[in-house]
Amino acid sequence: MLLILLFIFGLIIGSFLNCVIYRLEKNQDFISGRSFCPHCRHILDWQDLIPILSFILLKRRCRYCRELISWQYPLVELSTAILFLFIGFKFSDPVSLIYHLIIASLLIIVFVFDLKHRLIPDKIIYSTIFISGAWYLASGIFFGLYAKHEILNTIYSAFGAALFFLFIYFITKGKGLGFGDVEIAFFMGLFLGFPKILLAIFLAFFSGAVVGIILILLSKKTLKSELAFGPFLVAATLFSAFFGQPLINLYFGLLGY
């Protein structure tokens, strides 16, 4: 029952995240104000806002102006719901559950925004860093969920990952990586700790290279084209958070450790 509720809750939150992404693009307040069609600006009724179902019933068109609705909306809603489901499987503790749901929601915003605009919104990534830092300090000091060495592990991992990306940023003069990627790397280290941060960085660079090569072969990109790296960092972070430790254990097992 909890997992079903989390899935439905994920669909609702996904709908809200779409609103946040759009209003961040337009530099508008996303806390207040009713939802509206981005084409005709008509205020949407409740039946237009049912996650995924409204998209299907309206046949991907606005009820009022008949303009096409972007696939972003149902994809973000469904992805959020599935991600919430994974988090529900992994975390039974209510505090840990809420923390990871918040972080996952913020990362979805980063993923979509950077994919669309090759830009990482500072207010979102700074929020993830602040929440993660506060989480480890509060949960370690007040709840005893983490030992001192585990908290230090995340701090060292955060600065280590950020310095590595900062080095690439300066060496390439901002052409290889944007400074927003440095900020994401700091969060990744804070969120994942060592050694999962190493796996996440490897997966991000590997998947980015594979996708880049495929796009070049399909003539969608050239060697000089820019490719948003934030989505690869976010995907690698989430994958490492869910599946990183079993993969690391398997790797060391093959090495005989």
What does the domain layout of the chain look like in residue ranges? Answer: 1-90, 103-257
Judge whether residue 30 has pLDDT over 80: no
For residues 169 and 146, the answer to whether their CB atoms sit within 8 Å is no
Q: Residue 251: its pLDDT value, please? A: 74
| Residue 219: count of CB within 10 angstroms of its CB | 7
Q: What mean pLDDT is predicted for residues 135-158?
A: 78
For residues 229 and 115, the answer to whether their CB atoms sit within 8 Å is no
93: phi > 0 → left, psi -120 to 50 → alpha, else beta; which?
beta
What is d(CA 49, CA 35) in angstroms, rounded to the nearest whole number?
Answer: 8
Q: Tell me which residue of 173, 167, 165, 144 sits closest to 229, measured CA to CA.
A: 165
Global model pTM greater than 0.85 = yes
pLDDT band at 145 (very low <50, low <70, confident <90, very high): low
Judge whether residue 223 has pLDDT over 70: no
**pLDDT single digits (tens) 158-198:** 999 999 999 999 998 888 788 999 999 999 999 999 999 99
SS3 188: helix
Average pLDDT, the chain: 89
Q: Residue 144: its pLDDT value, please? A: 64
Q: Residue 245: its pLDDT value, please? A: 86
Judge whether residue 127 has pLDDT over 70: yes
